[in-house]
Structure 1
Amino acid sequence: MLFRRCLCIIFLTLASISSLFASSYGTIFSETRTDFRDESIYFVMTTRFYDGDASNNTQCWDGQSYNVGDPAWRGDFKGLIEKLDYIKAMGFTAVWITPIVENASGYDYHGYHASNFSKVDHRYESDDVAFEDLVNAVHSKGMKIILDIVINHTGNFGESNLCPLFKRDWDADQSNIDDCMVPLNASEGGLLPSNYSDLESGKQYAARLSKMKNTPDENGQKQNYDSHNYWHHYAQFNWDETNRWWGQIAGDCVDLNTENPAVYNYLVQCYTTFIAMGVDGFRIDTGGHIPRLSFNKAFIPAFKAAAEQYKAKRGGFPFYMYAEVCARYSSIWYREHPNLSPLYYTWKESQEYDWDDNPESWNTIVALEGDKCDTHTNHKSVQATATADLDNKEAQPISNNAFLNGNDYHTPDYSKASGLNVIDFTVHHNFVDISSAWNVANKDNDKYYNDATWNVVYVDSHDYAPNGAPEDKRYSKGTTAWAENLCLMYTFRGIPCVYYGSEIEFKAGSTIDKGPNIPLKESGRAYYGGYIKGSINVNDFADYSNASGNIAQTLNHPLAKHIQRLSQIRMAVPALRKGQYSKDNCSGSYAFKRRYVDINTDSYALVCISGGATFSNIPNGTYIDAVTGDTKVVSNNSLTASCSGSGNLRVYVLNTNKTNAPGKVGVDGKFIYGSSSVNIPMPTWDGSEEELIEEPENPEDPDEPTVDPTRHEGEQIVFFEKPNSWGSQVNAYVYYKNGSTVQINGAWPGNKMTSLGNNVYSYLFPEGTIGNPSDWYIIFNSGSQQTKGDPGFICKNGAYYTVDGEDHIVPLSPVGINSVSENSPKVYATNRNIYIENADDENIMIATIDGRILYSGKQTIIPVSNSGIYIVKIGEATTKVLIK
């Protein structure tokens, strides 16, 4: 009998242990996963993530000399499928990927320059992997997929079904525009002139754009080519005014007429194809350049209807949509204009506006460039919202959907919600550190969102970093700052989103994007695949074993381990995922309380980050910390949590009738710990993490224009003539010694120099470079080769160097070309325009330093898009000009 009792006790104990494991964070998560606030998002640029099929690799038409060995189109669907286990091992439950439809532009690897919305771009696919295979693979991992879509614009090469200008030859070399893009003239069902291929590049652009938005064509004539008004024809706009809703934001982003039923019906039809495949949501690009009325009248209802029709493909889960309403501004109201602010898009209209759904209703309107189409019903209604909601902040609706009523959760009122959520640009812009983000994420601001718990929250992205980080570079404020920011992202209101590589501070401090003017491998969009080579067995989210190779090292980075622990804690506590919040009666550090209640769940949590806190007027009961397992029985409505260390936190969870506290979740690490920090060594990768596919062999592009070394008044510039044996990328490393080494232009190997042709390179010091060049030393280098070091050559402004040292000083160039007589041609630049005087009807050619011809003709004012050095040829005379 005693033996049987002991046996029963053993069996009961084992059953209890089994029950404990069954209640792990993974089980809690699966049982309480009801809407998209439960997810955490990993954002990847598909082409820059992982290469699963080398046969579809290709360069873009532009920037090829910068990207030898690193084709811009490198990652693909097959590679992403191979590395879903890595994303899941990190703890992410959803993946957001960049747009997938066919693209056409000089630099289109990112997917935002559509040429055919109805088809997937072949460069992502493999013989055995299509997009639907990726969707199915994501779902097989228990994950969700967000598809980035563009409805605001196309590229400038037409659109196959709205304005056919080219036939794409997918069997040709995709890196050669002349091979793969076959112009279509009228006899071939297109709109381009028969002599298109013989036109200069500037006139080619004019020919294309005129067919899309009625701008002057290749002959300088305006005609009603876009007779259906598929694109907006308005020419000028301001980022800070409502005319950004119908203005063209960039040369490669031709603004679609989103108020035209023929256009939005076509876009909805195309994107419904992907909803039918099972995508779980859309991230909508450039949403702030589309009127909210167009979303509320056209896109949101149609996408919601399609999502309902195909919900079985998502396992019945709700479809989620969020828009990029870019607002690089520190306060909640962008430039004090409500209808240009992200929060505005989370609401339905406050009054009824007329709307015409007839797809032929625009066909009778003739609008040449500059016309707003003011006569159409839909545009008049949009214009009315532009006026009504531009400055009237007091009239904007407010909501308490995100806030607790004391300690109590209340049912949110979504009757006025638009159904569209947003990226939290206010928090993003302020996320230089946790303190700045904390100060703007509060009740006074969040009441203007319909429900801020649905906001997507991130620190940096493929476009921007927070203000002061600085904005144009990947976040580089250090690992501890990252750890604190992530703690807030994973426990406070909103859906956390992490840009690929941030888990190891990949490319921290690198310029995020400068188009084809810098190598991708030096940018914030560099290829990541080398860091995640290897194998892994994944048991659940943030639970893996048997990792090997570089992927094992990457997953063991202190910040990566931090994200894994935060993921586990967030999954274990429903309140952290979708709870309402309050900062009231929470004294101390970054302290708050959250609660979520539904028919099966009552989850209540007290959180403090980077310091302790006292929580007053809270429910009595038993609280267990998810970080340490510490138990506190509260009987006086007050709890004090001790917490030390930046990036550490405490999450005291109340045992309720419906939901027990999970106990300690995960293991201690460098930032999140109980009594002491755990030392986690930095990764030791195998050296192949940033390897190129091939090494460049030809140091010079034979088509690269040759520019004589010149310098201008006010410039700090040096020149170097490299040996033939050196590679094509040459760097200049500049420093001086003042007890220790002070680096003038960054760590070794310094900055990339600009090729001028004939093995000659220049390095122009940025404006604001401080110091006395005569005290500096300079070392030129290329890979393993360099000029003499310790200390190097003395740096002199305007000096021309060889491997033997200074050769001569390049004299200051006179104003003009080859002559300083009063009537000689003169070139100068300001405000992103190049001005030519005294050209005497000579042909003018403008080219980039890497040989791309931007303009050829006889205009004397030529706009350019980017800063940098440009080659200017007037007749037979050549010079260069600097755009700052």
Structure 2
Amino acid sequence: MKRFHPWPTVAMTAVAAALLASCGDNSDLPCCDPPPPAQLLHVASPEWQDQIVYFVMTDRFNDGDPSNNDQGAGEFDPADGAKYSGGDLRGVEAKIDYIKGLGATAVWVTPPVANQWWDPLNNYGGYHGYWASNFMEVDKHMGTLADYKSLSSSLHKSGMYLIQDVVLNHTGNFFSYRGGYDAADPTKFLVMNTASKPGAAPTQSPFDLNDPRNADHVKAGIYHWTPSISDFQDATQEKNYQLSDLDDLNTENPAVRDALRKSYAYWIKEVGVDGFRIDTAFYVPPDTFKDFLYSTDTTNPGIVAAAKATGRENFLSFGEGFASDRAYEDTKAKKIDSYMTDPATGETILPGMINFPLYTSAGDVFARGRPTAELGYRIRDVMTTHKRPHLMPSFLDNHDVDRFLAGGSEAGLKQNLLMMMTLPGIPVIYYGTEQAFKEQRAAMFKAGYKSGGKDNFDTTAPLYQYIAQVSALRKANKVFSRGTPTVLKENGAAAGVFAYKMSWNGTTAFVVFNTADGETLLDNLETGLAAHAVLKPLFAASGTATQAVADKNGRLSMKLPARSAYVWLATADTASVVDPTATISMTALNDVKEAGDFIVSGVSTELTNFKLVIDGDVAHAQTVTPAGDGSWSATVDTATMIDPTIRHSIVAWSETSAVLSNSGSFFVDRPFVKLAEVVDPAGDDVGPTGVYKYPTNDSWGSNRQLDLRKVTVSGAGGAMRIDVQTNKVTTVWNPANGFDHVAFTIFIEVPGKAGGVTAMPLQNAVLPGGMKWHYRLRAHGWSNAIFTSAGASASNEGTNASPAAGLKVDTATNTVSFILPDASLGKLSSLSGVKVYVTTWDYDGGYRGLSPTTQEWAFWGGNGATDPLVMDDTTVISLP
């Protein structure tokens, strides 16, 4: 039997070779053991636009070596979301087959470098990897350098690639400024984090020169001695101040730039990393990235040269620019592109940037039921604003934002995944999505944080199987990874139809969605194909994909089931079809503007009746009966058409005869009417006991963002607008929704509606005055969700629903407005008798904690396990 004998990693000596040759059949000799397989660290770069990335937060993914979990600094506790759970690099390697089975071709790991393990100033740990203490060491919780090399080699041998998360902007939090700041004297208001674990300063030179009280450290200029950013619109603060208390590196300093190039080239050379995801790109000057990637320094050249030295001619670096545009805006998209391409010279900076604007628009459409035209705009903008959209990673959730399923349905998630796999951009799957995770950073392994007490690597899970299918669709049809999209159909008013085609190298594919929770009509889709052209089925999100056939005009029309999605491939084939003899025409409506209800008319033949479909909504279509001569007219009810900027669509349709009229479009300018208003006392944001206090961190300041001042409820038919005025709207953390440091939870009771719940989910409270809620809104700076009471309880938020409320923020009046279309409330004909109740708290991956004693990042003055998580509230507002 063979015995273990470690084989030398250097070239075999002549003596060793001779001994091996003399072994013959004597295989029991240690020298006769075969060498272990050689590691495969360096491979050629792939075509990145064809790759599919799986993103793991290493500490929360899988524990391959329990012996490295607890380093004895009080930093390890799987029951505490702020501490290490035990995942490591060996754990990732052990699950390569699981990851590959999803269809992923690359693995992106959070920074594996030595980190600040525990920050006592903020009571949080660096388990995530973004708080470096040494950029050139593997963190002990993650394993060893040998473990990292083994992971790299195993991935490469599986035909996969390794992407490492890297940080250029900051280290951990080893010094802070509290209570003030004096730019002329960086020692004033300074707090050195002396109790930081495992040490009070970085261990790597020159980053260890971090004490402004030391003249030599100040002279070295490795850091900006600055406090946390308080105004994200201030360019100086953005580039030079601390992001969330993390020590800001002076990346204009040549010594810093040199050290960063050296540090990160190390991982390419020693481990075989194939690409970088660059954290917090907006907080580093673009010129730093030019140096980082393209420096011609002979000792520590730029990353591109370092990668080429290992055979990687196409090393991928993509940045994180955490910013998203609101609907029909692209200011943030242009900022993102300025980090990819120098706007002054046209030079390439970063090959790619994460596509945050697309993430937001897709989430609004697929999770929150916003009009699909918002996504159509975003796709067109992506293709015109960015020179390299195919190298922009796309995603639907990650470690910094809510999980999709925290506010969206599984059907919506499937649609978002399909969109991501059929558009330009490198798709990124966040670990746990395939297991229907709702918790942002839960562990996949049994012993880890919020794992549910089980391992979560089920390859038979429905979403695992679905992701494998859509991944296979993308890989089998390069039209999706390399093609150009053209939006063909969108709904400007509501959830519903959304269609685009992808074209590449003579191939055309059509992707069609119904994002609504009810049936919608796809009418008169211009395919550009011949009469009766056959579309070959490639995929259906549910059920069986079936062939589609264009009509005599090359158009495609059909009724789409709720939350359906289809993919077809254009062919040169045509079908033998008998065209219908019935006809419908409608007087042309081309973006006409109406002030209220109006009449539409036309002519039909061979029809006793048909439907007049507004905004694709089949369920609420009006039945029209033509006169004897075929002429017809109908009144369009505009009572719930509440936004004058929205383009509505209209078409006459006979399902039984399979005929449609021409499509029309119109706008309606119809105002809301005030129904109720409640003025709330100033200064009563102290909780139900009167003693709650805000977190002590400076970012809250004295703004009292949770202090309600006035709530106004207005209506337009069954649509509702809730204007919530607070003491102060702030944007300290650059929130996507335009307000931060407060979460609004709004409960709505519908008279006569069955069911309803009195419990206020996750808030340790029940509704006042015997009120029951049927709909519940939860919105903060980065999420906006609506739930029905089905399945709701004190510990369950209920059932995700759509469409969510539209949001508008007026900082001049400190007002956040929630606009609910009638579809959000079940198509009510009137709001009479509806009850509304508004509360404030804050939200950070869950309702923010409440502690009995003073806390920097939690509310205090109560017991968070039992006391209500309500800072201020209104009375119950009853609508007349």
Q: TM-score range by the shorter chain?
A: 0.5 to 0.7
Distance 1:140 1:321 in 2: 22
Q: Which amino acid aligns with 1:455?
A: M
Tell me if 1:54 matches 2:48. Answer: no
Give the equivalent residue in structure 2 for 1:268: 261
Tell me if 1:231 matches 2:223. Answer: yes
With over 3 angstroms needed to count, the CA separation of the structure-2 counterparts of 1:648 and 1:103, relative to structure 1, is same
Distance 1:465 1:179 in 2: 29
Tell me if 1:424 matches 2:355. Answer: yes
Tell me if 1:624 matches 2:556. Answer: no
Unaligned ranges ≥5, structure 1 = 1-32, 160-175, 192-207, 352-414, 514-518, 534-549, 657-711, 720-735, 752-762, 777-791, 794-829, 833-847, 855-863, 872-880
Per-residue CA shift, 1:753-805, capped at 9, x if unaligned?
xxxxxxxxxx6x6xxx74248999xxxxxxxxxxxxxxx99xxxxxxxxxxxx
Per-residue CA shift, 1:676-714, capped at 9, x if unaligned?
xxxxxxxxxxxxxxxxxxxxxxxxxxxxxxxxxxxx985
Give the equivalent residue in structure 1 for 2:587: none
With over 3 angstroms needed to count, the CA separation of the structure-2 counterparts of 1:76 and 1:182, relative to structure 1, is closer
SS in 2 for 1:347: coil
SS in 2 for 1:138: helix
Q: Which amino acid aligns with 2:536?
A: I
Q: Which amino acid aligns with 1:595?
A: S
Alpha carbons 2:852, 2:861 under 8 Å: kept:
no
Give the equivalent residue in structure 1 for 2:609: none
Distance 2:305 2:555 in 1: 45
Candidates 361, 365, 386, aligned match of 1:433: 365
SS in 1 for 2:437: coil
Alpha carbons 2:415, 2:565 under 8 Å: kept:
yes
Give the equivalent residue in structure 2 for 1:202: none
Q: Which amino acid aligns with 1:443?
A: R
Distance 1:139 1:447 in 2: 35
Alignment of 1:495-510 (within 5 A): 495-507=426-438, 510=439
Tell me if 1:652 matches 2:569. Answer: yes
SS in 1 for 2:860: strand
Alpha carbons 2:392, 2:425 under 8 Å: kept:
yes
Alignment of 1:784-799 (within 5 A): none
What's the C-alpha RMSD, in Å, of the aligned pairs? Answer: 5.1
Tell me if 1:452 matches 2:389. Answer: yes
Distance 1:459 1:309 in 2: 32
Give the equivalent residue in structure 1 for 2:107: 95
Question: How much does 1:266 deviate?
Answer: 0.8
Question: How much does 1:327 deviate?
Answer: 0.8
Tell me if 1:868 matches 2:869. Answer: no
Tell me if 1:493 matches 2:490. Answer: no
Tell me if 1:130 matches 2:147. Answer: yes
Per-residue CA shift, 1:570-626, capped at 9, x if unaligned?
1111010121222258999322222233xxxx5432222237573433489875322
Distance 1:179 1:59 in 2: 14
Tell me if 1:254 matches 2:247. Answer: yes
SS in 1 for 2:127: coil
Per-residue CA shift, 1:277-310, capped at 9, x if unaligned?
3222111100011122322344455799544554
Distance 2:68 2:141 in 1: 6
Question: How much does 1:125 deviate?
Answer: 0.8
Alpha carbons 2:289, 2:350 under 8 Å: kept:
no
Distance 1:115 1:479 in 2: 40
Alpha carbons 1:586, 1:615 under 8 Å: kept:
no
Give the equivalent residue in structure 1 for 2:498: 590
Question: How much does 1:556 deviate?
Answer: 2.7
If the length of structure 1 is used for normalisation, what is the TM-score? 0.52
With over 3 angstroms needed to count, the CA separation of the structure-2 counterparts of 1:422 and 1:114, relative to structure 1, is same
Question: How much does 1:642 deviate?
Answer: 5.5
Candidates 340, 344, 351, aligned match of 2:338: 344
SS in 1 for 2:510: strand
Question: How much does 1:569 deviate?
Answer: 0.8
Tell me if 1:111 matches 2:126. Answer: no
Alpha carbons 2:393, 2:427 under 8 Å: kept:
yes
Distance 2:88 2:141 in 1: 7
SS in 2 for 1:495: coil
With over 3 angstroms needed to count, the CA separation of the structure-2 counterparts of 1:337 and 1:441, relative to structure 1, is closer
SS in 2 for 1:257: coil
Distance 2:252 2:546 in 1: 58
Question: How much does 1:54 deviate?
Answer: 0.9
Q: Which amino acid aligns with 2:210?
A: M
Distance 2:771 2:535 in 1: 66
SS in 2 for 1:145: strand
Distance 1:234 1:247 in 2: 7
With over 3 angstroms needed to count, the CA separation of the structure-2 counterparts of 1:93 and 1:527, relative to structure 1, is farther
Alignment of 1:677-756 (within 5 A): 714-716=686-688, 742=757, 744-746=759-761
Distance 1:585 1:557 in 2: 33
Distance 2:559 2:469 in 1: 17
Question: How much does 1:98 deviate?
Answer: 0.5
If the length of structure 2 is used for normalisation, what is the TM-score? 0.52
Distance 1:457 1:332 in 2: 19
Alpha carbons 2:757, 2:772 under 8 Å: kept:
no
Distance 1:595 1:60 in 2: 57
Distance 1:616 1:184 in 2: 62
Question: How much does 1:178 deviate?
Answer: 7.1
Distance 1:178 1:498 in 2: 37
Question: How much does 1:129 deviate?
Answer: 4.8
Alpha carbons 1:583, 1:592 under 8 Å: kept:
yes
Which range is displaced more, 576-585 or 627-636?
A: 627-636
Alpha carbons 1:145, 1:280 under 8 Å: kept:
yes
SS in 1 for 2:141: helix
Candidates 396, 411, 415, aligned match of 1:484: 415
Tell me if 1:320 matches 2:316. Answer: yes
Question: How much does 1:244 deviate?
Answer: 3.6
SS in 2 for 1:212: coil
Unaligned ranges ≥5, structure 2 = 1-44, 120-124, 177-192, 367-371, 515-520, 574-683, 692-748, 774-792, 795-839, 843-848, 863-868, 873-880
Alpha carbons 1:34, 1:317 under 8 Å: kept:
no
SS in 1 for 2:338: helix
Q: Which amino acid aligns with 1:614?
A: L
Distance 2:465 2:566 in 1: 15
Give the equivalent residue in structure 1 for 2:606: none
Give the equivalent residue in structure 2 for 1:279: 273
Question: How much does 1:644 deviate?
Answer: 3.4
The one of the two structures with greater contact order (alpha-carbon pairs below 8 A, sep at least 6) is 1
Distance 1:261 1:439 in 2: 44
Give the equivalent residue in structure 1 for 2:210: 212
Give the equivalent residue in structure 2 for 1:9: none
